[in-house]
């Protein structure tokens, strides 16, 4: 299994070559180099998965590669290594595959763009950091790659750095996730302070002795361990755009569309889910309260984002909110899950992560194809595109069916598992999740009908089908979205690495299909043809519609909090103190020195003889004093 290191090393090599030689090598070469590197990595990842899942019976944690990187004390040291277990192998497959598709797609999409080589360098860097993240053997390595992911995502969002919106979005994404990562870091430090190790193998061992002391000591009514895990989850929530740290994700759509597909749909945003899954035994055994928080935030976000998605008009933003909603599902599933036999939620969450990566990447690539064709993001300017882009239309339809949860497409199976898991734990959450499944179907098909059906639109540019190199990845992903659901996921991925037998819950399945079909039908009725009905509904629900359109004013709330409260109440007095007390002290020192200097500078006349006078007088005076003292 030692070739696993290559999976990580290859994208890094591509990044180094493209980054260093940017501007010196031709575009095509740079693109194919990076694509080739990730392609080989993808093949290796599939090989790894094959040998891991099919050639061994038990899914133990394997560490094929490890070096000690920093050694602080005898007991506390930081390693760099590769950890293979079911979820990391699964993530390797997902990331390399989706990356490969996006790399291929970008060859067509980004053709002729300025900074093509830079784009591929950043993309490779991102793949490298994401892969490093999922195979991390310890929390610290994970944190390092976590930050690397943040940086490369920031670079890619701000790819069009001459566009002020893109720069602002990059800044926003960076600051929000950075803020969350601060919590993450504190959580890591807390956890490692008590356990004395960063290693996942040790931390996730349910019988680890250190946890008893942590669960014993209380802070504000919750154990220290719970707080540590909450803080770690805060980092995950930041990356995964959970409420209330979600505000960066919609703006992040300023980046190139393939970037949105790769980062903000399929891989990076699920890092938070992955993190919680990685730490799941700790959550499950020692801090169920933290897990409850995960579930609550998950369910809130999935409903919240779905409602907003119904009102947006920017195609990429709709997809962004739908991403948030789907990740909410994953978090919810993790939150309601148990360890071991009752770990349906864990498996369901990972399963949904897996399938979601395919259909969401496909949705974004499809959106990219549409945007590429008509040079607009606004769905109100689209319509009847099925005539112009038949292939895009088909794959987009597949993706929509998948996300809506219509069998036999992938989303149905994973979402069904999530709903079943939720039902076992909390009926209220189940109701919300099911309702949102309908909502999901509604807004996805609203998008679908508005773009591909509806009225005939006159386009400024004649829309055309995308080039072959862009269609291939979309078709591959469409196949993935269609069939990924048939993988018996429970056999491979479960919370305790033991095969989990999953039975389909008939009632839940039928219910979810009915709900999804209802959503699609409503969308069909409202948006299939150009009709005034949707406007009418929007105006009847005027308040809710407006609020949702404005994303529930969360952005405004943030601005209010930062501007009004933090700036005015905290920063301003501090600034005042700084300016009028600290600076004044400094100024006083400076002006006093100045004044004194100005006064005494006359003594430095530059006249040699003046100095001699003074000198001589001094000598005479001293001699006088000496003589009279001695006699």
Which of residues 202 and 620 has its CB atom nearest to other proteins in the complex? Answer: 620
Is residue 625 near other proteins by the rule CB under 8 A? no
Which of residues 458 and 608 has its CB atom nearest to other proteins in the complex? Answer: 608
Binding characters for other proteins, 257-286, by CB under 8 A (x = yes):
------------------------------
- Least Å distance, CB 590 to other proteins, is 17
- Least Å distance, CB 618 to other proteins, is 11
Is residue 612 near other proteins by the rule CB under 8 A? yes
6: tokens are: 């290559």
- Least Å distance, CB 589 to other proteins, is 20
The 10 Å Cβ neighbour count of residue 543 is 8
Is residue 617 near other proteins by the rule CB under 8 A? yes
Q: Which listed residue (70, 570, 623, 625) binds other proteins by CB under 8 A?
A: 623
- Least Å distance, CB 149 to other proteins, is 58
Q: Which residues contact 118 (CB under 8 A, 6 or more apart)?
A: 18, 19, 22, 159
Is residue 559 near other proteins by the rule CB under 8 A? no
Rg (CA), the chain: 30
Q: Which stretch binds other proteins (CB under 8 A): 48-56, 248-256, 300-308, 609-617?
A: 609-617
Is residue 629 near other proteins by the rule CB under 8 A? no
- Least Å distance, CB 586 to other proteins, is 23
Which of residues 521 and 612 has its CB atom nearest to other proteins in the complex? Answer: 612
Is residue 624 near other proteins by the rule CB under 8 A? yes
| DSSP sequence for 245-307 | S-THHHHGGGS-HHHHHIIIIISGGGHHHHHHHHTHHHHHHH-HHHHHHHHHHHHHHHHHHHH
Binding characters for other proteins, 69-98, by CB under 8 A (x = yes):
------------------------------
Q: Which stretch binds other proteins (CB under 8 A): 181-189, 423-431, 448-456, 618-626?
A: 618-626
Q: Which stretch binds other proteins (CB under 8 A): 317-325, 481-489, 557-565, 613-621?
A: 613-621
Q: How far is CA 300 from CA 231, 422, 428, 498, in A?
A: 19, 14, 12, 31
- Least Å distance, CB 593 to other proteins, is 14
Is residue 24 near other proteins by the rule CB under 8 A? no
Q: Which residues contact 512 (CB under 8 A, 6 or more apart)?
A: 405, 412, 415, 416, 419, 434, 437
Backbone dihedral region of 33: left (phi > 0), alpha (psi from -120 to 50 degrees) or beta? alpha
Beta bridge partners of residue 571, listed in sequence order: none
Which of residues 553 and 613 has its CB atom nearest to other proteins in the complex? Answer: 613
Which of residues 560 and 613 has its CB atom nearest to other proteins in the complex? Answer: 613
Is the sign of the CA dihedral 23, 28, 34, 40 positive or negative?
negative
Indicate the Cα dihedral angle 391, 395, 400, 402, nearest 10°: 160
The footprint of other proteins on residues 575-604 (CB under 8 A) is: 601, 604
548: tokens are: 């949702």
Q: Which listed residue (67, 220, 458, 608) binds other proteins by CB under 8 A?
A: 608
- Least Å distance, CB 119 to other proteins, is 55
Helix and strand totals (H; E) in the chain: 28, 4
Distance, CA of 370 to CA of 376 (rounded, Å): 8
Q: Is the peptide bond before 408 cis (omega within 30 degrees of 0)?
A: yes
The 10 Å Cβ neighbour count of residue 535 is 10
Is residue 616 near other proteins by the rule CB under 8 A? yes
Q: Which listed residue (57, 58, 607, 629) binds other proteins by CB under 8 A?
A: 607
Q: Which stretch binds other proteins (CB under 8 A): 22-30, 262-270, 533-541, 605-613?
A: 605-613
Which of residues 58 and 631 has its CB atom nearest to other proteins in the complex? Answer: 631
The 10 Å Cβ neighbour count of residue 58 is 7
Distance, CA of 407 to CA of 198 (rounded, Å): 42
Q: Which listed residue (175, 592, 619, 625) binds other proteins by CB under 8 A?
A: 619
Which of residues 3 and 613 has its CB atom nearest to other proteins in the complex? Answer: 613
Is residue 614 near other proteins by the rule CB under 8 A? no
Q: How many residues bind other proteins (CB under 8 A)?
A: 17
Nearest CA to 198 among 76, 81, 64, 65? Answer: 76
Q: Is the peptide bond before 76 cis (omega within 30 degrees of 0)?
A: no
- Least Å distance, CB 592 to other proteins, is 18
Is the sign of the CA dihedral 503, 508, 510, 514 positive or negative?
negative
Nearest CA to 299 among 156, 151, 419, 157? Answer: 419
Is the sign of the CA dihedral 562, 567, 571, 575 positive or negative?
positive
Is residue 521 near other proteins by the rule CB under 8 A? no
- SS3 for 110? coil
- Least Å distance, CB 569 to other proteins, is 48
- Least Å distance, CB 599 to other proteins, is 12
Which of residues 501 and 610 has its CB atom nearest to other proteins in the complex? Answer: 610
The 10 Å Cβ neighbour count of residue 1 is 14
Distance, CA of 241 to CA of 200 (rounded, Å): 24
Which of residues 483 and 621 has its CB atom nearest to other proteins in the complex? Answer: 621
Is residue 3 near other proteins by the rule CB under 8 A? no
591: tokens are: 């002006």
- Least Å distance, CB 595 to other proteins, is 15
Which of residues 532 and 606 has its CB atom nearest to other proteins in the complex? Answer: 606
Q: Which stretch binds other proteins (CB under 8 A): 124-132, 557-565, 574-582, 622-630?
A: 622-630
Q: Which listed residue (504, 605, 625, 629) binds other proteins by CB under 8 A?
A: 605
Is residue 627 near other proteins by the rule CB under 8 A? yes
The 10 Å Cβ neighbour count of residue 411 is 32
Q: Given the rule CB under 8 A, which residues bind other proteins? A: 601, 604-609, 612-613, 616-617, 619-620, 623-624, 627, 631
């Amino acid at each position: 299994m030692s070739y696993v290191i290559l999976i990580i090393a290859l994208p890094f090599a591509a990044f180094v070559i493209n980054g260093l030689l940017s501007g010196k090598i031709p575009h095509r070469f740079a693109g194919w180099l990076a694509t080739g590197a990730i392609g080989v990595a993808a093949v290796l990842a599939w090989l790894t998965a094959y040998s891991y899942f099919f050639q061994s019976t038990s899914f133990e944690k394997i560490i094929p590669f490890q070096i000690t990187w920093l050694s602080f004390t005898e007991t506390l040291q930081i390693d760099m290594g590769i950890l293979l277990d079911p979820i990391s192998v699964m993530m390797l497959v997902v990331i390399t595959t989706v990356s490969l598709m996006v790399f291929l797609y970008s060859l067509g999409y980004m053709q002729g763009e300025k900074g093509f080589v830079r784009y591929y360098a950043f993309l490779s860097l991102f793949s490298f950091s994401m892969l490093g993240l999922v195979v991390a053997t310890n929390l610290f390595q994970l944190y390092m790659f976590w930050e690397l992911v943040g940086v490369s995502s920031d670079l890619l969002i701000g790819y069009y750095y001459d566009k002020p919106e893109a720069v602002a979005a990059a800044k926003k994404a960076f600051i929000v996730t950075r803020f969350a990562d601060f919590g993450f870091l504190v959580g890591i430090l807390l956890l490692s302070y008590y356990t004395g190790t960063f290693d996942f193998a040790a931390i996730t061992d349910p019988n680890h002795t250190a946890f008893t002391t942590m669960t014993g000591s209380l802070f504000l009514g919750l154990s220290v361990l719970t707080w540590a895990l909450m803080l770690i989850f805060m980092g995950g929530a930041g990356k995964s755009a959970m409420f209330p740290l979600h505000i960066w994700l919609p703006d992040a759509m300023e980046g190139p569309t393939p970037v949105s597909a790769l980062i903000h749909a399929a891989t990076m945003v699920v890092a938070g889910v992955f993190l919680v899954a990685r730490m799941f035994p700790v959550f499950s055994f020692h801090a169920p309260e933290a897990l409850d928080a995960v579930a609550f935030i998950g369910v809130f976000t999935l409903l919240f984002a779905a409602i907003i998605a119904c009102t947006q008009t920017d195609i990429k933003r709709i997809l962004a909110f739908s991403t948030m909603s789907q990740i909410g599902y994953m978090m919810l599933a993790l939150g309601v899950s148990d360890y071991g036999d009752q770990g349906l939620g864990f498996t369901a969450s990972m399963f949904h992560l897996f399938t979601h990566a395919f259909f969401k990447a496909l949705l974004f690539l499809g959106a990219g194809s549409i945007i590429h064709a008509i040079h607009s993001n606004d769905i109100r300017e689209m319509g009847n595109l099925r005539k112009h882009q038949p292939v895009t239309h088909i794959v987009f339809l597949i993706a929509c069916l998948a996300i809506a949860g219509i069998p036999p497409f992938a989303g149905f199976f994973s979402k069904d598992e999530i709903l079943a898991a939720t039902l076992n734990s909390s009926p209220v959450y189940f109701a919300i999740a099911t309702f949102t499944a309908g909502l999901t179907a509604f807004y996805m098909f609203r998008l679908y009908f508005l773009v591909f059906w509806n009225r005939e639109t006159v386009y400024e540019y004649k829309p055309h089908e995308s080039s072959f190199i862009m269609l291939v990845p979309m078709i591959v992903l469409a196949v993935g979205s269609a069939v990924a659901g048939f993988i018996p996921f429970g056999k491979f991925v479960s919370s305790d690495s033991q095969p989990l037998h999953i039975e389909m819950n008939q009632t839940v399945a039928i219910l979810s299909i009915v709900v999804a079909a209802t959503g699609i039908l409503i969308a069909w009725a409202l948006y299939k043809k150009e009709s005034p009905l949707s406007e009418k509904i929007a105006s009847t629900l005027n308040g809710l519609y407006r609020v949702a359109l404005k994303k529930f004013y969360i952005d405004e709330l943030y601005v209010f909090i930062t501007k009004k409260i933090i700036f005015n109440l905290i920063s301003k007095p501090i600034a005042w103190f700084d300016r009028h007390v600290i600076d004044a002290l400094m100024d006083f020192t400076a002006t006093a020195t100045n004044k004194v200097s100005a006064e005494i500078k006359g003594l430095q006349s530059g006249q040699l003889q003046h100095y001699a006078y003074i000198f001589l007088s001094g000598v005479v005076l001293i001699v006088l004093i000496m003589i009279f003292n001695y006699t």
